[in-house]
Structure 1
């Protein structure tokens, strides 16, 4: 069973509040919608070009620019149906992809989907380098505080499934908080250079 793409474009849209800021989220599970989502992200890109990036196992790819996030349900796409526009975006070396657990995330992109994301950096490493704090070892909330962003993550959702197809607003907020924080931290840090 397949829903027509023109109807799918109207589904999977969320507007959630994260620390008082409205964040627009598009969740896609169809290769034809990835191009639309990437166009929306590109419209938010400024200089320096920072994109929040988090890969959740081989299930979900999360991208964030400004107040817009794109969540791609990779487990719903086959490895052969990854569109070239996504590969081109993630392989763009003019973009600094900032995130958490990127070593395993970049490995997953390469091994599962043959995507080489060469210009990515852990938020923690970027903060240590820019702030010249070699011993900086912290989670997102601490990193955010280091760069002057008040941040507190949502509480864990016990009934949450990363492999779901449909999410509530509360679940989407939980899904995108880390990638949104990664974008904010990366932007703040690279703005100091």
Structure 2
């Protein structure tokens, strides 16, 4: 199977680990609502990014995506439930809606650091919602649709979704089932299907961004 997920079933209330397999890639995925694990993931990711890019002088690219419970009524705007970050073959799914101690300072600092380029499809809307809901600001955000239009020389990519970009840029097909898209992202415990979905959105954003920048 080209896409699958392995649940490590850790016996903790604070976090769990998964391995999401996407064709030849294995994405090590941490799901947590606990600040200390976010701190550690960010510190380790920053170190790996610097090591991997130190000699190549390439932009430090991080895939970013968010999920929230679908809004059933116009007058009710549900807050962001999870933020997903992906760099290399590591992914963080932080359930900020359920964080008992508030958003860690490390996440504020990481997202606002102009050293990193955060990429995603429709990322402007995600960034705006993070700011409105949690006062999180992203210093350097790039929409993959505009980047694809620029690099591929066709403005049709300005309206593309991540499925189309993954097929065009990476040569990989992915499904995005509506039952997962519209699921309860505000639940305290995410299902493996939700974890796989959320992980791949951030991971593919990162890989598409890396490919387009190098083009």
When normalised by structure 1's length, the TM-score is 0.84
Is 2:146 aligned against 1:142?
no
| C-alpha contact 1:50 1:186 (8 A) present in aligned 2 | yes
Aligned pairs for 1:165-176 within 5 A? 165-176=188-199
Aligned pairs for 1:44-83 within 5 A? 44-45=48-49, 46=53, 47-57=58-68, 58-77=80-99, 81-83=102-104
Is 2:90 aligned against 1:86?
no
Cα displacement string for residues 109-142 of structure 1 (whole angstroms, at most 9, x for unaligned residues): 2222222213101111111122222232211122
Q: What is the rounded CA distance, in whole Å, between the counterparts of 1:140 and 1:115 in structure 2?
A: 24
Q: What is the rounded CA distance, in whole Å, between the counterparts of 1:156 and 1:68 in structure 2?
A: 25
Counting matched residue pairs gives 184
Structure 1's 40 and 166: CA in aligned 2 closer, same or farther, altered over 3 A? farther
| C-alpha contact 1:54 1:101 (8 A) present in aligned 2 | no
Could you tell me which of 11, 14, 21 is aligned with 1:17? 21
Q: Structure 1: any 5+ residue segments left out of the alignment?
A: 1-6
Q: Structure 2: any 5+ residue segments left out of the alignment?
A: 1-11, 69-79
Which residue pairs with 2:41 in the alignment?
A: 37
Which residue pairs with 2:208 in the alignment?
A: 185
Structure 1's 20 and 156: CA in aligned 2 closer, same or farther, altered over 3 A? farther
SS of equivalent to 2:155? coil
Structure 1's 56 and 101: CA in aligned 2 closer, same or farther, altered over 3 A? farther
Q: What is the rounded CA distance, in whole Å, between the counterparts of 1:36 and 1:164 in structure 2?
A: 24
Q: What is the rounded CA distance, in whole Å, between the counterparts of 2:154 and 2:96 in structure 1?
A: 36
Q: What is the rounded CA distance, in whole Å, between the counterparts of 1:111 and 1:138 in structure 2?
A: 26
Q: Structure 1 residue 75: deviation in Å?
A: 0.7
Structure 1's 168 and 111: CA in aligned 2 closer, same or farther, altered over 3 A? closer
SS of equivalent to 1:135? helix
Is 2:118 aligned against 1:97?
yes
